[in-house]
Amino acid sequence: MRERKITAGEVRQEYIHSHGIVLQAIGKAGNALLRATDNQWRQRLRHLRKMDWSRTNAKLWEGRAMIGGRVQKAEQNVTLTTNLIKRFLKLPLSPEEQRVEEAFARGRDAK
């Protein structure tokens, strides 16, 4: 966008990172990262470069940030998206986040 090669609308259409759910999840994961005792937050942030933020990566985003290819901002979706980001940052999940993650995994296994 900065180089004017793609518009803001195209970014939102092609990628998930500019949607409110992901911004909220990044904020929650960032809060946990800053509270981590190892003070290695800058190094850990580099792991986010490995994430495929494209909406076409349904394997990563479907059921978390998207349902049926549409971005969802329900609390469960925010938590599942936060969990994914925390996993990339190598952060532990809270007990509640772990519960939501296990329920998500059970739902996937049942399909």
Q: Tokens 């803001």 identify what position?
A: 8
Beta-strand ranges (E) seen in 21-99 are: 66-67, 70-71
Sign of CA dihedral 24, 25, 29, 32: positive
Does pLDDT of 11 surpass 90?
no
DSSP single-letter state for residue 1 = -
pTM of the model: 0.86
Residues of the chain with pLDDT > 90: what percent? Answer: 63
List pLDDT tens digits, range 50-60. 999 999 999 99
